[in-house]
C-alpha cells in the first residue's frame, strides 16, 4: 500500500489536473488495484450526454461511468448511491433510508419511492418515555439499538433498478464494492466527521476498529479501505437484497441492533428490530406532491416526508405575499426577499409540525392549496414586520377566509447529516435522491463483519407530544415511519423536467430547497449561484443565518423588522441539475459547504 504522503501527493497531482486525473469526459482510473482516484471536485459543469451532482467526487464519477456505458438515470443513481455508502458512510449506506423522486421520460411521468426506515412492530407512542411518561434522554437513545429503524435503502435501490433500470442489480453494486475494496483518499470532511464523533464511535468496538484504528481518525490524504463493506456489497451482488431482508446480512443487523456490544461493557438501550420486521419491509411508491408555482409544477416527496408539502406551502405563501403587496419577490431588495422567505417557511413549519406525520388523513391537498396559503398570508403577513414567533398553525379545512390560527406547536428538533444526489440522462430521465442514516454517524453502531453503520432514524419521531394537549402526528407506533424533512425535488414545465435538486440538513433541508428554488426561479441567479448564496433557515423559532447574512446589511435589516437570528456557519449542502430544452445540462454543487461538491456531465462543453 502507498504511504499517506504518497497518496496525498497523488491527490494533489489529481487536483492539479495531473496524470492521475483523467480529463473530464474520459473514463476514471481503470487499473484494478490501489485507491480509486477520480477527477478533482468541481462545483459546476455544463454539457451533454447526462449529468451527476453529489457531494463526493468518487460517487459522481461512478454515476458518470454508468451513464457513459449506456446506463440510464435510475442505474446511475443506484450505483452512485451505493458508492456514497462507502465514501460518505456517516451520511448514507446500506443501514439507512431515503426518498427518491424520478422522472420517467418514456411515460412522461413523475414518481416517488419511499425507502424510509420503519419502526419495529413492538413500538408504541410511549417507547421513548420513561416510567413517569417523561421523554428519554435524546443522545442516549441516539447511541443505542433503540434508535435503529428497519433500513429502507437496499429496498429502494432494488425497486428503482427493477422498475426503471437497465442494468442488473449485481452490476450496479460493483463499483461500490470496488471502492470499498480498493479504498479512496480521505478528505478533510471525512476526517473531521470522525473527529466530531470520536467519543461515540470509540464506544462501539466494531466502529472503533474501522474508523479509529490505533485510536486515531483516518488522516486527511490517507487511503481508507473497508473490506467488510466490500464483503457486504459482494453479498448483495450474490444474493440480492433478500440477504438483508431475509438472509444473513439481516441476521447480523438484527443481532447488532438487539445486542449492541460496547467497548467498556456499559449497557445501551437494546434495539427492538426482529427478522420479522425485516421481512415485512417494503419500499413504497406513493404519488409525489405537486405544487403549482409561477406556471411550473414543483414535484416533491409526500408523507412520511414533510418535504414536498412544506416546500409547496412555502412557495404558495410567497405567491400570496406577492399578490398582497402587489410586488413580486423578483423585484424587492435582498432584505425584503429574505423577510418574505423567512415568514413563509416559519408559517409552513407551524403547519408541518401540527399536521404532517405518517398517519392517515394528513390534509396534504389542502396544505398545498393556494386557498390555504392565501388565508395564512392574509392573517399573518406584513411586509414591514416579522410575525411573532411561534406562529400559530392554521386550519387546512377547505374553507378559507382570513382567520389567524389559535394555538401553536413547539418547534421540532433539528439535526444534520444525510446527502443528496441528482442525476439526469441523455434520454431525459431524471433522479433526485436524498439518502441518510439520520445523524452524522447514525447510531454509531457498525454491524460487525459487514462494515456499515446502522441508522438512528427512529429519533426523528417526537418522543412525547410537542405541545401538551395538541395532537402530534409524529409519535412512534408499530411499523410507522418517522416524519422526515427530506425534499428531493423535480420541477417540470408542461410535464418536461427543467430542474432537479435537494439537500441534506435535517429540518433545514426544507428551507434550503425552498431558498435555492426561489433564488433560481425568482431572483435571477444561475443554479450554481443559487446554491452558493448565503442561507437563512426560519422554522418558527429563532432563525439560523449564515454569517454573510447575519453579520451583513441584510441581517441588520431583518433585525429591524423583528427577526431574531442566531449565526450558523453552514446550512445544507445542495446539489442540482438544470435540464435545458436543447438536451444539455448544467450540473451544480456546493463550492464551499461540506468541503464542496462534485458536479459532472458526460460530455463537457456548451
Ligand atoms: N433524518 C432527517 C430527516 O429525515 C435527515 C437528517 C439530516 O439531513 O441530517 O429529515
Ligand 1 centroid distance, CA of 278 (Å): 22
CB contact at 8 A, 36 and 56: no
Residue 437: closest CA among 94, 86, 137: 94
pLDDT at 405: 62
pLDDT at 404: 64
Q: Does some domain include residue 474?
A: yes
Q: Does some domain include residue 389?
A: no
DSSP state at residue 484: B
Q: Does some domain include residue 186?
A: yes
Q: What residues are paired with 431 via a beta bridge? A: 102, 423
Q: What is the pLDDT of residues 506-524, one digit of tens each?
A: 999 999 999 999 999 999 9
DSSP state at residue 458: G
Q: Is the pLDDT of residue 606 over 90?
A: no
Q: Does some domain include residue 365?
A: no
Ligand 1 centroid distance, CA of 117 (Å): 11
Q: How far apart are CA 25 and CA 19, in angstroms?
A: 14
How many domains, in total, are found in the chain? 1
Signed CA dihedral, 342, 344, 347, 351: sign only: negative
Which atom of ligand 1 is the closest one to the Cα of 505? 8
Residue whose Cα lies nearest atom 7 of ligand 1: it is: 506
What mean pLDDT, rounded, does the chain reach?
A: 93
DSSP 106-175: TTTEEEEEEE--B--TT--TTTTB-TTSPBPPHHHHHTSGGGPPBP-HHHHHHHHHHHH--S-HHHHHHH
Residue 488: closest CA among 14, 53, 90: 53
Residues identified as active-site: 418
Q: Does some domain include residue 331?
A: no
Burial of 336 (0-12, 13-18, 19+ CB in 10 A): buried
Ligand 1 centroid distance, CA of 457 (Å): 8
Which atom of ligand 1 is the closest one to the Cα of 507? 10
Top mutation candidate among 353, 509, 511, 513 for ligand 1, by most atoms within 8 Å of CB:
509
Q: Does some domain include residue 468?
A: yes
Ligand 1 pocket, CB under 6 A: 415-418, 436, 438, 457, 460, 484-486, 504-506, 509
Burial of 494 (0-12, 13-18, 19+ CB in 10 A): exposed
Q: What is the pLDDT of residues 547-601, one digit of tens each?
A: 999 999 999 999 999 999 999 999 999 999 999 999 999 999 999 999 999 999 9
Q: Does some domain include residue 353?
A: no
Ligand 1 centroid distance, CA of 505 (Å): 6
Which atom of ligand 1 is the closest one to the Cα of 438? 1
Which atom of ligand 1 is the closest one to the Cα of 97? 4
- Please give the residue range of the domain that contains residue 574: 4-284+413-604
Q: What is the pLDDT of residues 338-363, one digit of tens each?
A: 999 999 999 999 999 999 999 999 99
Q: Does some domain include residue 408?
A: no
Q: Is the pLDDT of residue 199 over 70?
A: yes
CA 597 to chain centre: 14
Top mutation candidate among 197, 438, 441 for ligand 1, by most atoms within 8 Å of CB:
438
CATH assignment of the domain containing 208: 3.60.20.40
Q: What is the pLDDT of residues 8-49, one digit of tens each?
A: 334 433 333 322 333 333 334 446 789 999 999 999 999 999
Cell of 134: 417523561
Average pLDDT over residues 308-320: 98
Amino acid at each position: 500500500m502507498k504511504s499517506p504522503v504518497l497518496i496525498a501527493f497523488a491527490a494533489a497531482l489529481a487536483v492539479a489536473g495531473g496524470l492521475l486525473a483523467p480529463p473530464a469526459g474520459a473514463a476514471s482510473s481503470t487499473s484494478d488495484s490501489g485507491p480509486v482516484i477520480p477527477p478533482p471536485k468541481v462545483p459546476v459543469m455544463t454539457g451533454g450526454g447526462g449529468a451527476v451532482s453529489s457531494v463526493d467526487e468518487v460517487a459522481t464519477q461512478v454515476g458518470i461511468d454508468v451513464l457513459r456505458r449506456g446506463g440510464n438515470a435510475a442505474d446511475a443513481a443506484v450505483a452512485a448511491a451505493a458508492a456514497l455508502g462507502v465514501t460518505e458512510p456517516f451520511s448514507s449506506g446500506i443501514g439507512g433510508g431515503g426518498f427518491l423522486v424520478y422522472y420517467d421520460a418514456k411515460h412522461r411521468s413523475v414518481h416517488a419511492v419511499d425507502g424510509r426506515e420503519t419502526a419495529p412492530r413492538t413500538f408504541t407512542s410511549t417507547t421513548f418515555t420513561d416510567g413517569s411518561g417523561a421523554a428519554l434522554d435524546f443522545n442516549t437513545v441516539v447511541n443505542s439499538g433503540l434508535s435503529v429503524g428497519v433500513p429502507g435503502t437496499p429496498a429502494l435501490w432494488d425497486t428503482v433498478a427493477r422498475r426503471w433500470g437497465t442494468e442488473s442489480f449485481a452490476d450496479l453494486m460493483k463499483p461500490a464494492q470496488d471502492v470499498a475494496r480498493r479504498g479512496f483518499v480521505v478528505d478533510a470532511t471525512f476526517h473531521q466527521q470522525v473527529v466530531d464523533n470520536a467519543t461515540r464511535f470509540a464506544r462501539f468496538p466494531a466502529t472503533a476498529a474501522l474508523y479509529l484504528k490505533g485510536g486515531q481518525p483516518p488522516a486527511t490524504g490517507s487511503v481508507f479501505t473497508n473490506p467488510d463493506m466490500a464483503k457486504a456489497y459482494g453479498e448483495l451482488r450474490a444474493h440480492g437484497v433478500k440477504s438483508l431482508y431475509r438472509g444473513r446480512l439481516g441476521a447480523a443487523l438484527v443481532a447488532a441492533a438487539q445486542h449492541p456490544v460496547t467497548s467498556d461493557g456499559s449497557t445501551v438501550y437494546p434495539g427492538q428490530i426482529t427478522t420479522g420486521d425485516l421481512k415485512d419491509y417494503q419500499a413504497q411508491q406513493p404519488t409525489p406532491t405537486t405544487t403549482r408555482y409561477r406556471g411550473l409544477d414543483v414535484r416533491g416527496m409526500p408523507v412520511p416526508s414533510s418535504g414536498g408539502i412544506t416546500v409547496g406551502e412555502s412557495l404558495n405563501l410567497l405567491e400570496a405575499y406577492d399578490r398582497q403587496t402587489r410586488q413580486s419577490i423578483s423585484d424587492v431588495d435582498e432584505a425584503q426577499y429574505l423577510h418574505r422567505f423567512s415568514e413563509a417557511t416559519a408559517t409552513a413549519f407551524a403547519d408541518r409540525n401540527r399536521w404532517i406525520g405518517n398517519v392517515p388523513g394528513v390534509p396534504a391537498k389542502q396544505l398545498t392549496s393556494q386557498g390555504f396559503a392565501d388565508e395564512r398570508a392574509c392573517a399573518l403577513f406584513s411586509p414591514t414586520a416579522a410575525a411573532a414567533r411561534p406562529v400559530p398553525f392554521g386550519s387546512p379545512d377547505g374553507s378559507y377566509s382570513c382567520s389567524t390560527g389559535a394555538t401553536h406547536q413547539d418547534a421540532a428538533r433539528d439535526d444534520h447529516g444525510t446527502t443528496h444526489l441528482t442525476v439526469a440522462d441523455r434520454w431525459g430521465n431524471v433522479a433526485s435522491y436524498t439518502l441518510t442514516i439520520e445523524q452524522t454517524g447514525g447510531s454509531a453502531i457498525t454491524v460487525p463483519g459487514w462494515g456499515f453503520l446502522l441508522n438512528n432514524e427512529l429519533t426523528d419521531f417526537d418522543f412525547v407530544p410537542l405541545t401538551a394537549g395538541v395532537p402530534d402526528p409524529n409519535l412512534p407506533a408499530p411499523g410507522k415511519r418517522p416524519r422526515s424533512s427530506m425534499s428531493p425535488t423535480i420541477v417540470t414545465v408542461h410535464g418536461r423536467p427543467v430542474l432537479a435538486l435537494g439537500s441534506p440538513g435535517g429540518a433545514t433541508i426544507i428551507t434550503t430547497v425552498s431558498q435555492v428554488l426561489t433564488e433560481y426561479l425568482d431572483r435571477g441567479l444561475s443554479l450554481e449561484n443559487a446554491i452558493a448564496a448565503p442561507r437563512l433557515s426560519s422554522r418558527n423559532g429563532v432563525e439560523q443565518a449564515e454569517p454573510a447574512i447575519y453579520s451583513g446589511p441584510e441581517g441588520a435589516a431583518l433585525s429591524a423588522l423583528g427577526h431574531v437570528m442566531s449565526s450558523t456557519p453552514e446550512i445544507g449542502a445542495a446539489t442540482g441539475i438544470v435540464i435545458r430544452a436543447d438536451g444539455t445540462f448544467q450540473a451544480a454543487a456546493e463550492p464551499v459547504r461540506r468541503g464542496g461538491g462534485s458536479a459532472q456531465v458526460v460530455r463537457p462543453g456548451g
